[in-house]
Amino acid sequence: MDIAQSFAAAFALILGADPAFLAIVRLSLAVTLTAVAVAALIGLPVGALLALSRFPGRGAVIVLVNALMGLPPVVAGLLVFLLLSRSGPLGPLGLLFTPTAMVCAQAILVLPIVIAITRQLVEDLHGEYREHLASLGLTGLRAIPTLLWDGRFALATAILAGFGRASAEVGAVLIVGGNIAGYTRTMTTAIALETSKGDLPLALGLGIVLILLTLGINAVTYAASRVGARFAG
């Protein structure tokens, strides 16, 4: 009964195209995709660097990055909150309770995933093609761009995993965004709010819309990688 109502609510949301609802969807996508882009920009080179460089304590760094994949969103949120609060070190920026703060928190959550998977992948590829790369004159860190390019499809999956983590989390964005109507309310914080108002069908309906969006983004990425693979092949 409730489930049927939820699907009805989801369709009503999609077909109704209510501007407030669309703004929530837009903000959710903008925050999460920006956070994933930031994490990818930093994480891909750092992961590759970590894969190819040798330094004391490297093992500890790898373990730490792998462990941080399990960083609880609420802890990441709290960390960013304390940094950005007016009473915190970055308080003068006035960024708390803004979408920028939400991007920061989510980027922190996604970054370890991108670094860890990139590191593993590049290390494996490098082990396999070291001599081939050397014959092309690509030794040491100069091999990084080639390795990233060759691992691009697997790396896209790593980035999708990061996207999944960010788009699904509510703990961090709730703390640093404040769930302000029309400004920092996302799909997940709206779901939490509707749950607390006891409107469970609407809450689940919003959840269905979120899952459909995630499905769409994954489908587009998959199609793009198929097309890409054909050209590369």
Which listed residue (86, 130, 142, 226) binds another protein by CB under 8 A? 86
Report the site for another protein in 10-39 (rule: CB under 8 A): 26-27, 29-34, 36-38
> Is residue 6 within the footprint of another protein (CB under 8 A)?
no
Give the Cβ contact number of residue 131 at 10 Å: 7
Q: Which is nearer to another protein, 62 or 93 (CB)?
A: 93
Report the site for another protein in 44-73 (rule: CB under 8 A): 44
> Is residue 129 within the footprint of another protein (CB under 8 A)?
yes
Q: What is the dihedral of CA 122, 128, 132, 137, to 10 degrees?
A: 30
**Number of residues forming the site for another protein (CB under 8 A):** 60
> Is residue 180 within the footprint of another protein (CB under 8 A)?
yes
When computed from its CA atoms, the radius of gyration of the chain, rounded to whole angstroms, is: 20
Q: Which is nearer to another protein, 56 or 233 (CB)?
A: 233
Q: Which is nearer to another protein, 140 or 228 (CB)?
A: 228
- Which string of DSSP letters, residue by residue, matches 89-138? TTGGG--TTSHHHHHHHHHHHHHHHHHHHHHHHHHHHHHHHHHHHHHTT-
Residues 70, 68: Cα–Cα separation, whole Å: 5
Map residues 182-221 to x or -, x wherever contact with another protein holds by CB under 8 A.
Answer: -x---------x-xxxxxx----------------x---x
Q: Is 79 exposed, middle or buried (0-12, 13-18, 19+ CB in 10 A)?
A: middle
- Non-local (6+) Cβ contacts of 150 within 8 A are 125, 129
Residues 60, 63: Cα–Cα separation, whole Å: 5
Strand blocks (E) in the chain: none
Note the residues at the interface with another protein (CB under 8 A): 26-27, 29-34, 36-38, 40-41, 44, 85-87, 91-100, 103, 128-129, 132, 136, 145-146, 148-150, 152, 155-156, 159, 163, 178-181, 183, 193, 195-200, 217, 221, 224, 228, 232-233
